Amino acid sequence: MAILMKSRVTKTAIAITPVESIQQMIFIVRGQKVMLSLIVRQDGAYRWDILTPSTLRMSRTDPPS
């Protein structure tokens, strides 16, 4: 996380739909673009994805509490 804190944010896009709220941020980390997406549904469930050029994909989904 410290690496992301030191990197600069190049683009922030927020799209709100009736179903989901999507926030995307693109970071430059060690010369590579890293995209972080946070998707929140109306029922409170949320999912985040991290995409890097090396096709590493991390995803986590949490049910609403």
Three-class SS of residue 49?
Answer: strand
Query: Structural domain of residue 6, as residue ranges?
Result: 2-62
Output the pLDDT for position 56: 53
Name the CA dihedral angle for 24, 27, 31, 33, rounded to a multiple of 10 degrees: -10
Instruction: Give me the amino acid identity at 22.
Output: I
pLDDT tens, 7-45?
A: 445 455 455 555 567 777 887 777 777 888 887 777 777
pTM metric for this prediction: 0.40
Output the pLDDT for position 4: 44
Task: Give the ranges where 1-65 is alpha helix by DSSP (H).
Answer: 2-6
- CB–CB of 23/38 below 8 Å? yes
Query: How many independent structural domains does the chain possess?
Result: 1
